[in-house]
Amino acid sequence: MPLAPTDHDTLHALAALNDIRLAETDMPLLALHFGLLGQHAANVLSFALHEELDAAPEFRP
């Protein structure tokens, strides 16, 4: 379960720790993150395109 800090200083400390972790592993994490986002976007667009084609009578077999 994610932490839910309410103290302002705690939030800043967690943000700084996250920045350090990201800097240590910079490219692999970012590449994975954007790669997964790109794959998700491609899946959504593909699904939407198939829905449109299925609904269009001129494209039905």
Asked if residues 19 and 11 have their Cβ atoms less than 8 Å apart, the reply is no
pTM for the structure as a whole: 0.39
Rg (CA), the chain: 21
1 confidence band (pLDDT: 50, 70, 90): very low
Domain boundaries, the chain: 8-49
DSSP, collapsed to helix, strand or coil, labels residue 32 as: helix
pLDDT at res. 23? 55
Q: How far is CA 32 from CA 18, 22, 26, 28, 39, in A?
A: 16, 12, 10, 6, 10
pLDDT at res. 29? 62
pLDDT at res. 27? 58
The per-residue pLDDT for range 4-59, each reduced to its tens digit, is: 545 666 666 666 666 655 555 555 666 666 777 778 888 888 888 888 777 777 76
